[in-house]
Structure 1
Amino acid sequence: MLKTLGKVFTGLAAGAMLMAGAVAPAAAQVEPQAINFRTPFDCGQVWNANTRTNHNPQNAVDFQRSGAQGKNVRSSAPGKVTTVRDLGNTSYGKYIVVTHSGGWQTLYAHLSAFNTSVGRSVSTGTIIGKVGNSGGSSGPHLHYEQKLNGSVRRVVLNGLAIKYFGNTTVTSSTGC
């Protein structure tokens, strides 16, 4: 009887988490991470994390919000800046790549400005750029990718998986 009640309460708790918008990582779809990637924005900012099947690459996330233009973009984890590049009006536009331990990288694209340089060591929360509308963007937002050994993976921030495919509201706790 107690085992049955325990299973019922576990099921109810999982259902309540899903209804509240919490997203649990799916074991078959989310890469185990040795790094605790953090939300790449200032503490307390609320962003919409958008994912869609026609996104390129598909596992990337677009972070959007009202007044996004010029907001700080922060490194999601400690690492070394390996790319700072401006592709002009095409593709990623202004973008940055930070290389982390264990074969992980993060990419931050469509920036309006850079606040870093190649070779710089960064900590979690270091300001590396500003949100913009560069490249092939159709409005101010941050295009964000997490890569493992060069392959784009589904994004996990603060230990929680971003919902695929749809929208997830994320409140940054970086630097709080």
Structure 2
Amino acid sequence: MSLRMIGAFVAAVTAALTLAAPASADVGAQALNLRTPFDCGQVWNANTRTNHNPQLSVDFQRSGALGKNVRSSAAGVVETRRDLGNTSYGKYLVIRHSGGWKTLYAHLNSFNVSVGQNVNTGTIIGKVGSTGGSTGPHLHYEQRLNGVVQRVVLNGVHIRYYGNTSITSSTGC
């Protein structure tokens, strides 16, 4: 094999790897291994839409959602626990994880954790509700890196934008 052929091969492999490499935020989310925030074996519809605020957030829906456990997607510290009443997120939590990552869980019916509390992956942090500006029981969920909302990756699965992704929770299995 000539040097020219080797050079062309290396260039082609490098280009292919560059195109196939996930965005750095995706790599970070996978390294943190953010998990689906529900009980093991539950199937949820992860809905995304262009008119959502923020746009990259996910609404998890299913029949009988009201009162289902909401679990921490990863180990961390409860940073925020607020109740905005009948507006916006209603009852919501923010958990700070490693590497600049945070997760937000909104429209909760109730809280199971307090600010400053350490949680593990799968700790029950609240119950699904319909508080704030919600029109029905669901969990509004966000993954943020250094304060910027990211495309959601759970269990290594990229949630489909814009549409629906059926996802089965493996948290605590």
Shared fold, TM over 0.5: yes
Q: How many residues align?
A: 152
How far the C-alpha of 1:124 sits from its partner, in A, is 0.2
1:32 CA drift (Å): 1.7
Cα separation, 1, equivalents of 2:113 and 2:85:
18
Looking at structure 2, the residues matched to 170 and 157 of structure 1 have their Cα atoms a distance apart, in angstroms, of: 9
Please give the residue correspondences for 1:20-169 in structure 2 after superposition, counting only pairs within 5 Å: 27-28=22-23, 31-33=26-28, 34-169=31-166
Deviation at 1:44, TM superposition (A): 0.5
Equivalent-residue separation in structure 2 for 1:29 and 1:133 (angstroms): 34
Rg comparison, structure with higher value = 2
- The 8 Å contact of residues 25 and 145 in structure 2, kept in 1 or not, is answered as no
Q: Hey, what's the Cα distance between the residues in 2 that align with 1:69 and 1:50?
A: 17
Amino acid at match of 1:37: L
Structure 2 match to 1:21: none
Which structure 1 segments of 5+ residues have no match?
A: 1-24
Residue 31 of structure 1, CA deviation: 2.7
Q: Distance in 1 between matches of 2:140 and 2:33?
A: 19
Instruction: Say if 2:143 and 2:150, in contact at 8 Å, map to a contact too.
Output: yes
Instruction: Give the superposition deviation at 1:26.
Output: 8.1
TM-score by length of 1: 0.84
Contact 2:39-2:171 within 8 A present in 1 as well: yes
Give the aligned CA root-mean-square deviation in angstroms. Answer: 1.4
Amino acid at match of 2:134: S
1:77-126 residue CA offsets vs partner (Å, 9 max, x unmatched): 00000000000000000000000000000000000000000000000000
TM-score by length of 2: 0.85
Gaps of 5+ in 2: 1-19
Specify whether residues 118 and 158 from structure 1 end up closer, same or farther in structure 2 by C-alpha distance, changes over 3 A only: same
- SS of corresponding position for 1:32: helix
Greater fraction of residues in helix: 2
CA apart distance, 1:160: 1.1
Report sequence identity in percent. Answer: 75
Name 1:7's counterpart in structure 2. Answer: none
